[in-house]
């Protein structure tokens, strides 16, 4: 069969990949587009998003408000030119999605409904009940189907980027149905391969979020940026880590310790809701502080011995009982469904045991505002990329919008690039393709002997990441994590493979994913080690203060033969000079009064 060649190849069929594919198809119908995904697109993690997507809609809100919340929520690590473009484009993209058929929830008078979300001073989170990601992905998927120029490679696992003559010219992928390893060539490649929460044991992330695109770009010489910033979501179900959406707190849910005390009043949490807004339905800000602060407050309660013991570890209670059955069923029905199915309880009658859980990577492939990497022809968007929007802590509901805003922009830029370059040089690439085929088939699948099962190695990695690079880190814990990662590299050369089948060989896929997790974890641990300050989601117990003089900079981790090399890049400040992200106790203990010491 002839090698397929496209103008633009998207790796990933989630929100970012499909939005980018549509952008290319719309930009120029004569361009050929391919979407390769290791799962059927509707199974991408975007489908699991519950709470909503942020974009200014009300006349009482403003783009500057959204920008400021994003920047201060991100502890001044966001590039402000990127934020300004994002907040301005967000409402247009969300409206575009409506025109493509996304069923946004409405107010009784027919306007788009918005709900409060953590760290946002105003209500600006659009939602479709609490299945927002499902509806957004469905809308994008169905829209993509109408373009003849888009070809899909469903259940193809991309394992390597093809770089030749100083530019990216395609990928090598394993067709999971047949076990064949084949090239897919393209003038431009966009990595939309999602996050890497699976580097940690307890995560809301689907099993497929193994940082594949990040690992591939890193090995090809692109930097991984800001990897030390890992977001813990404060409310995962204790046993499984399944997410209980922030919308449950947006709608009025509260967090209680084992004494039934609303402990967040004891902590400084960050931006409270606008105290001058008398109509705000929530009139509380405690549970709507930024995620990093809420997760850190949990550790505070743990240290004070005020958490609840459960068979699955320490927890606190998320209580939504006071919202009543009717509101729960209308606004957050999925929360009730998840609690019944996965925790055996009904949140209408019982509080939900929750604890912080790894949720999102602020870091990722180093790209500029156009999604371009340092390799011509290679782009990235969505959670795989670090677009510099989210800084040191992403605000809930900014990610779904980011997929749209930067998926579209990156798609356009990749299309533009593809129009200006020659077709990939198939002949020159054949050596690399053969090498990758041999690496996978002979090096792994048909390999004899070996000592370690990949599942054992993954468990070791998980233990090292959780204990050394979790919510609080220090020089000692990070050094230990880095040491285990380096030992795991050696052990990985002695990995053994039991399953020799060609058809949907999940052991082989797990191996290929694991090498990406190792690379991502290495970059993460070393970036965290070298950032000797605390900022946003990166909290060093041995360096508790933020240090703008030294570290108001993005970290860039480059792969070398030994430990990664860490460089730094200045943060772009346009209109909002760095400020203290410290606020007074936001609310009185009754939780009914909006009195705040300051805002």
Ligand X SMILES: Cc1cc2nc3c(=O)[nH]c(=O)nc-3n(C[C@H](O)[C@H](O)[C@H](O)COP(=O)(O)OP(=O)(O)OC[C@H]3O[C@@H](n4cnc5c(N)ncnc54)[C@H](O)[C@@H]3O)c2cc1C
In the three-class reduction of DSSP (H, G, I as helix; E, B as strand; rest coil), residue 167 is classed as: strand
Contact window for ligand X (CB under 6 A) among 39-47, 82-90, 318-326, 335-343: 39-47
Q: Which of 6, 7, 8, 17 binds ligand X (CB under 6 A)?
A: 17
Q: What are phi and psi of 551, to 5 degrees?
A: -125, 20
Residue number, 174 or 478, with CB nearest to ligand X: 174
Start-to-end CA span in the chain (Å): 64
In the three-class reduction of DSSP (H, G, I as helix; E, B as strand; rest coil), residue 223 is classed as: coil
Residue number, 253 or 275, with CB nearest to ligand X: 253
Taking residues 105 to 144 in sequence order and writing x for each that binds ligand X by CB under 6 A, - otherwise, the string is ---------------------------xx-----------
Is there a catalytic annotation at residue 249? Answer: yes
Q: Which of 45, 115, 167, 233 is catalytic?
A: 233
Our finding on whether 37 is near ligand X (CB under 6 A) is yes
What count of Cα atoms within 13 Å lies in the side-chain half-sphere of residue 478?
A: 24
Residue number, 52 or 289, with CB nearest to ligand X: 52
Q: Which of residues 372-401 bind ligand X (CB under 6 A)?
A: 382-384, 396-400
Residue 12: closest CA among 31, 38, 30, 33:
38
Is there a catalytic annotation at residue 233? Answer: yes
Q: Two tokens at 581?
A: 């992200």
Q: What are phi and psi of 517, to 5 degrees?
A: -60, -35
- Answer yes or no: are the C-beta atoms of 143 and 410 closer than 8 Å: no
Q: Which of residues 399-428 bind ligand X (CB under 6 A)?
A: 399-400, 403
Our finding on whether 371 is near ligand X (CB under 6 A) is no
Q: How far is the CB of 153 from ligand X (least distance, A)?
A: 8
- Answer yes or no: are the C-beta atoms of 43 and 68 closer than 8 Å: no
Q: What are phi and psi of 11, to 5 degrees?
A: -95, 105
Residue number, 275 or 391, with CB nearest to ligand X: 391
Residue number, 11 or 315, with CB nearest to ligand X: 11
Per DSSP bridges, beta strands 254-256 and 313-319 are antiparallel
Our finding on whether 505 is near ligand X (CB under 6 A) is no
Q: How far is the CB of 176 from ligand X (least distance, A)?
A: 9
How many whole angstroms separate alpha carbon 457 and alpha carbon 491?
Answer: 8
Q: How far is the CB of 205 from ligand X (least distance, A)?
A: 5
Cβ neighbours around 268 below 10 Å, total: 15
Q: What are phi and psi of 200, to 5 degrees?
A: -115, 155
Q: How far is the CB of 593 from ligand X (least distance, A)?
A: 29
Residue number, 31 or 137, with CB nearest to ligand X: 137
Contact window for ligand X (CB under 6 A) among 94-102, 186-194, 286-294, 483-491: 186-194
Residue number, 38 or 543, with CB nearest to ligand X: 38
- Answer yes or no: are the C-beta atoms of 210 and 516 closer than 8 Å: yes
Our finding on whether 85 is near ligand X (CB under 6 A) is no
DSSP letter at 112?
Answer: B
How many whole angstroms separate alpha carbon 545 and alpha carbon 551?
Answer: 11
Q: How far is the CB of 513 from ligand X (least distance, A)?
A: 7
Residue number, 126 or 267, with CB nearest to ligand X: 126
Sheet of 125-126, strands arranged across: 53-54, 125-126, 114-115
Sheet of 385-386, strands arranged across: 385-386, 364-366, 224-225, 553-558, 565-570
Residue number, 211 or 353, with CB nearest to ligand X: 211
Cβ burial 512-528 (10 Å sphere, 16+ → b, else e): bbbbbbbbbbbbbbbbb
Our finding on whether 51 is near ligand X (CB under 6 A) is yes
Q: Which of residues 189-248 bind ligand X (CB under 6 A)?
A: 192-195, 204-205, 208-209, 212, 243
Any idea how long the chain is?
599
Contact window for ligand X (CB under 6 A) among 43-51, 66-74, 90-98, 526-534: 43-51
Q: Which of 21, 27, 39, 338 binds ligand X (CB under 6 A)?
A: 39
Contact window for ligand X (CB under 6 A) among 30-38, 327-335, 476-484, 486-494: 30-38
How many whole angstroms separate alpha carbon 494 and alpha carbon 491?
Answer: 5
Quick one: 460 exposed, middle or buried, by C-beta within 10 A (0-12, 13-18, 19+)?
Answer: middle
Q: How far is the CB of 416 from ligand X (least distance, A)?
A: 21
Q: Which of 43, 135, 167, 249 is catalytic?
A: 249
Residue number, 275 or 377, with CB nearest to ligand X: 377
How many whole angstroms separate alpha carbon 294 and alpha carbon 291?
Answer: 5
Q: How far is the CB of 273 from ligand X (least distance, A)?
A: 19
Q: Which of residues 321-350 bind ligand X (CB under 6 A)?
A: none
Q: Which of 22, 27, 31, 44 binds ligand X (CB under 6 A)?
A: 44
Q: How far is the CB of 592 from ligand X (least distance, A)?
A: 27
Residue 365: closest CA among 379, 350, 348, 354:
379
Per DSSP bridges, beta strands 167-175 and 180-191 are antiparallel
Q: Which of 23, 27, 52, 149 binds ligand X (CB under 6 A)?
A: 52
Contact window for ligand X (CB under 6 A) among 65-73, 188-196, 412-420, 561-569: 188-196
# residues near ligand X by CB under 6 A: 45
How many whole angstroms separate alpha carbon 278 and alpha carbon 60?
Answer: 12
Contact window for ligand X (CB under 6 A) among 51-59, 83-91, 221-229, 519-527: 51-59
Q: What are phi and psi of 222, to 5 degrees?
A: -85, 145
Catalytic residue numbers read 233, 249
Write out the residues near ligand X by the rule CB under 6 A: 11-17, 36-39, 41, 44-46, 48-53, 132-133, 157-158, 192-195, 204-205, 208-209, 212, 243, 360, 382-384, 396-400, 403
């Amino acid at each position: 069969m002839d090698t397929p060649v496209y103008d633009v190849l998207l790796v990933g069929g989630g929100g970012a990949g499909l939005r980018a594919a549509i952008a290319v198809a719309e930009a120029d119908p004569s361009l050929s587009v391919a979407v390769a995904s290791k799962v059927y697109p509707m199974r991408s993690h975007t489908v699991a998003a519950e709470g909503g997507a942020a974009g200014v809609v009300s006349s009482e809100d403003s783009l500057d408000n959204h920008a400021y919340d994003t920047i201060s929520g991100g502890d001044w690590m966001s590039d402000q030119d990127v934020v300004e473009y994002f907040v301005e484009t967000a409402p247009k993209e969300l409206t575009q999605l409506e025109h493509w058929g996304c069923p946004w929830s409405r107010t009784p008078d027919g306007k788009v409904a918005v709900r409060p979300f953590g760290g946002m001073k105003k209500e600006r989170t659009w939602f479709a009940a609490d299945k927002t990601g499902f509806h957004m992905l469905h809308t994008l998927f169905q829209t993509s189907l109408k373009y003849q120029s888009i070809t899909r490679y469903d259940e193809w696992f991309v394992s390597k980027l093809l770089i030749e003559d100083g530019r990216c010219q395609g990928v090598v992928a394993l067709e999971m149905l047949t076990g064949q390893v084949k090239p897919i060539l393209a003038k431009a490649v966009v990595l939309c391969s999602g996050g890497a929460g699976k580097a940690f044991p307890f995560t809301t992330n689907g099993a497929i979020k193994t940082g594949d695109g990040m690992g591939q770009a890193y090995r090809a010489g692109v930097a991984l940026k800001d990897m030390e910033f890992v977001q813990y979501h404060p409310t995962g179900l204790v046993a499984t880590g399944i997410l209980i959406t922030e919308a449950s707190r947006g709608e009025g849910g509260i967090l209680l310790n084992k004494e039934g005390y609303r402990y967040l009043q004891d902590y400084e949490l960050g931006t409270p809701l606008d105290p001058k807004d008398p109509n705000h339905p929530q009139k509380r800000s405690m549970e709507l502080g930024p995620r990093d602060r809420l997760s850190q407050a949990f550790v505070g309660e743990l240290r004070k011995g005020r958490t609840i013991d459960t068979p699955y570890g320490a927890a606190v209670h998320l209580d939504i009982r006071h919202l009543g059955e009717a509101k729960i069923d209308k606004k957050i029905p999925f929360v009730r469904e998840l609690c019944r199915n996965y925790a055996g309880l009904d949140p209408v009658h019982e509080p939900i045991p929750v604890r912080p859980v790894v949720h999102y990577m602020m870091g990722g492939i180093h790209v500029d505002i156009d999604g371009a990497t340092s390799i011509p022809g290679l782009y990235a968007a969505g959670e795989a990329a670090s677009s510099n929007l989210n800084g040191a802590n992403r605000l809930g509901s900014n990610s779904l919008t980011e997929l749209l805003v930067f998926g579209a922009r990156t798609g356009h830029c990749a299309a533009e690039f593809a129009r200006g370059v020659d077709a990939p040089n198939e002949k020159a690439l054949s050596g690399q393709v053969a090498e990758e085929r041999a690496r996978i088939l002979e090096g792994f699948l048909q390999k004899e002997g070996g000592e370690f099962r990949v599942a054992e190695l993954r468990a070791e990695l998980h233990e090292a990441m959780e204990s050394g690079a979790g919510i609080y880190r220090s020089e000692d814990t990070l050094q230990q994590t880095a040491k285990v990662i380096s030992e795991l590299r050696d052990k990985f050369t002695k990995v053994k493979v039991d399953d020799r089948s060609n058809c949907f060989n999940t052991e082989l896929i797990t191996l290929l994913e694991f090498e990406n997790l190792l690379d991502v974890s290495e970059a993460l641990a070393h970036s965290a080690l070298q950032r000797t300050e605390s900022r946003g989601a990166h909290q060093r117990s041995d360096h508790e203060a933020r240090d703008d003089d030294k570290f108001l900079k993005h970290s860039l981790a480059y792969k070398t033969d030994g430990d990664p090399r860490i460089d730094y890049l200045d943060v772009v400040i346009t209109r909002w000079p760095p400020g203290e992200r410290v606020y007074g106790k936001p609310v009185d203990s009754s939780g009914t009064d909006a009195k705040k010491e300051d805002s």
